[in-house]
Structure 1
Amino acid sequence: MKKFLIGFISLVVIVIIGVQVAQKVVSSGDNYYVQITTDGQRVESKDDNGNSYVDYKYTLQGYDNNGKAKKLTFNATKDRPLRKEAFLKVTWNKKKGVTSYEEVAQKDVPDKALEKLGF
């Protein structure tokens, strides 16, 4: 029983550490800032069960903290387009492309990126 308990606890610890490492790898990357200027391209698809869903595909020029540009393509999984004129902080990973985005206030966009965005 003691060996089983030690093995079980070891397995749980390994799983927890593995999940944390995987999460860090997926969410790590370079931050770029974009401003939503279009409604995006509406893309209608079906999941594996045949249920319909809508994505909006965006291809926008993003800028990092130093004003370096990168063309970013990502999907917004919403039933409506993202809010026009909104600023987004986009995380880009070399292997995965865009891994996440979040809306930020204009004051939170670095000055060099904001300048490149036309402000």
Structure 2
Amino acid sequence: MKKIFWGLVAVLVIIIGAGCVWYKVNYGTAPYYVQLTQDGKSEKINYNNGTSGTLYRYNLTGYDKSGKSQQVKLIESRILKHDAYLKVAYSKKENVISWEEVKKLEVPVAALKN
């Protein structure tokens, strides 16, 4: 009886561990740094409630703290400040999850070199 119990516990631990790894690979984020050197492309949208709005799409090259590049797509409902530095949380599955403006001094040197 004990062998069956511990066998089930081991299987459960393996399933939970595999699920955590899968989630981190697909939805985990990594910080990348981008500089807004171009304006976003505007796109008019209509919401289900009858109102309309504008989205701005930015296709940028981001760099991690070691200088490795990654194409990132940022969609925002407002125009972002030109030449600003952003720290974005990038996910392979969802692209940019969140972002915050940072000062140039806060950007790692390897990311600035590119």
Q: Unpaired runs of 5+ in structure 1?
A: 1-24
Which of 89, 111, 114 aligns to 1:113? It is 111
In 2: Cα distance, 1:83 partner to 1:53 partner = 19
Stretches of 4+ aligned residues off by more than 3 angstroms = none
Give the paired residue count.
89
User: TM-score scaled by structure 2?
Assistant: 0.73
In 2: Cα distance, 1:73 partner to 1:56 partner = 10
Structure possessing the higher radius of gyration over alpha carbons: 2
Which SS does the other structure have where 2:113 is aligned? Answer: helix
CA deviation after TM superposition for structure 1 residue 28, in Å = 4.5
Q: Deviations over 1:77-113 (max 9, x none)?
A: 12xx211110000111122111011110000000100
Amino acid corresponding to residue 113 of structure 1 in structure 2:
A
- Tell whether the 8 Å contact from 1:59 to 1:71 is kept in structure 2 after alignment: yes
User: Could you say which residue in structure 2 is the equivalent of 1:34?
Assistant: 34
In 2: Cα distance, 1:68 partner to 1:50 partner = 43
Correspondences of 1:24-63 after superposition (within 5 Å): 28-63=28-63
User: Could you say which residue in structure 1 is the equivalent of 2:11?
Assistant: none
User: Could you say which residue in structure 1 is the equivalent of 2:16?
Assistant: none
Q: Unpaired runs of 5+ in structure 2?
A: 1-23
Amino acid corresponding to residue 47 of structure 2 in structure 1:
D
User: Could you say which residue in structure 1 is the equivalent of 2:70?
Assistant: 70
Identical-pair percentage:
38
User: TM-score scaled by structure 1?
Assistant: 0.70
